[in-house]
Structure formats: C-alpha cells, structure tokens
A and B are shown apart, each in its own frame.
Chain A
Amino acid sequence: MALIDLANPTRFLRLAHRALPWLFEITAAVFAVGLYLAYAAPDDYQQGATVKIMFIHVPSAWLGMFGWGLMSVAALGTLVWRHPLADVAAKAAAPIGAAFTFLCLVTGSLWGRPMWGTYWVWDARLTSVLILFLMYLGVIALWRTVEDPSRAARAAAILTLVGAINLPIIKFSVDWWNTLHQPASVIKLGGPSIYPTILIPLLVMALAFTLLFITLHVAAMGNEILRRRVRSLMLVQAQAAPGSSE
C-alpha cells in the first residue's frame, strides 16, 4: 500500500483500529524491559542513584523535540501539499509533545536540585526548552481559538515552522553558550560518552517512550478525525434546521 493511500481518513481509521492493540502491547513490553534495565543499572560514580532520573528525563527531552519536528513536517504537508491528514497529525501531536516537554522540565528540575544545588537556572538549554513548552501551549491555544479547522491549520502551520528555529537552538545551546546543563553525551561526534551499563537502559527506555508517543499519536489522530466528522454532521444538521438560509 502506498503512503498516499493513508491520506483517506476512513482508511486511516480502519488501519489505526487494527494497529493500536499491537502498538499498545509492544509499547508495554518494551517499557517492562526498559524499567527492569533501569532498575538494575548501576549507580553513577559521581551522581549516585540520581542517574536513574536520566532514564525518563532524556527520552522526554528527545520526544519534546521530536513532537515539534513531526509538527513541522506536518506543517509543510498542510501548506505545500495540502495533505488531508497533515493538519490532523499536527493537531494530535501538540498536546503529546507538550506533555513530554513538561515532563522533561519537571524531571530535569528534580535532577538539578541534588546535582546542581538548584531547581532552575536561566541558562540557554533550560530556557530554550521552556520556550518550546510555551510554544506548544501557544499552538494548542491557536487550534482552540479558530473554529474552522482548515483556517486554524494554516495559522498553526506557520507558527510551527517559525518555532522550528528553536530546535537547533535547543540542541546546540550547550555548545554555543556556557551553560550549567552538561553538553551532549549520547548524540555527538565520536559516539556516546556513557558507559554501556547505563547507555543500554537509556536507549531501551527511549525506544519505549518513542513507541508510546507513536501509539498515543495514532490514537489521537483517530479521535481528531472523529471530531471533524461530528463537526461536519453538526453543520449538516444546522443547515437542515428550519429558518436556516439553505
């Protein structure tokens, strides 16, 4: 089946209905393995057991950025190709991306207090992630403000593409500025600088969180398609009502 076939919302709903139980079960299984590995992982020689916070903090940070990246691709789909499911994908991704960015900020704060001696500093990495969270809230507000989904989609797509400038700023903030946040230790030139006993649980947890994101996103896209169907039926009902112009 070609990817373009998925552009049909009815076909997407049918496929999503079939795929979701599998996705849910695979996600739960990978989470079980990841959590066991995280539990069994040794303490860090400097950070002690607080390194276990990394197994949820780092995947959340990646997915907060992944969500905006996905919305940016969908925004191009809305503005350039007018793909029927592009704005559905963008709208469904926003609350999930916002939730993971929130989780990244809170767990980072809880990790920072014992390690840095403070919950928060206005350094470039922390501030740029906070801006990402605020941008998510802005896009969600925009979707809710404009009633017509296709008009809201175009406005949200422009805002999303402008906001995508923040993604490289988040990634390279630790290199460009002097930050309290540590530099990259997994995705960097020369390979990861984390020992495998900690790196492997981190990667498994990242896979589990990514599968969770995909599962929730497919489910949320299905809900958005249903919401648009309800809206179009309500419009039909309103037009058929006595006293309407048609």
Chain B
Amino acid sequence: MNLGPHASFIIAAYAVAVLVVAGLILWVEFDNRAQRQRLKKLQAQGVTRRSDKST
C-alpha cells in the first residue's frame, strides 16, 4: 500500500488510535480484576452487606 508523501502522519494517527483503544480495554479489564479481588477479600473476612444478612 502506497500512503504517499504523508505516510508518517497516517501511520502515527492509526498508532495513537491503537494505543488509546488498547488503553481503554486494559483499564476496563484491570479495574474489573481489582474490584473482584477486593470484593473477594472482604467476603473472605466475613464482611457482608445488610441486604445479604436479611435474605
């Protein structure tokens, strides 16, 4: 594919897009893992919500 004289600008734009999208996916994934881990730790310590106790 010939991107012409401005190839570096096109490649840079797509590279930034890949970085931003990858960053968003990683943020969501790592945040999910962190919250689940914290929740698991608290539940392992026997901490439960009031709504859980009533059921």
Report which A residues bind B (CB closer than 8 A). 39, 43, 48-50, 52-53, 56-57, 60, 95-96, 99-100, 102-103, 106-107, 110-111, 113-114, 212, 216, 219-220, 222-223, 226-227, 229-230, 232-234, 236-237, 240
Contact = CB atoms under 8 A, between A and B. Distances in A.
A57 B10 CA distance: 11
A50 B10 contact: yes
A48 B32 CA distance: 43
B18 to A, nearest CB: 10
Given A39-B1, A99-B23, A226-B35, A57 B48 contact: no
A31 to B, nearest CB: 9
Interface residues of B, number: 34
Contacts, number: 96
Contact of B47 (A103, A212, A237): A237
Judged by DSSP, the binding face of B is helix
Contacts of A219: 28, 32
Q: For chain A, what secondary structure do more than half of its interface residues adopt (helix, strand, loop), or is it mixed?
A: helix
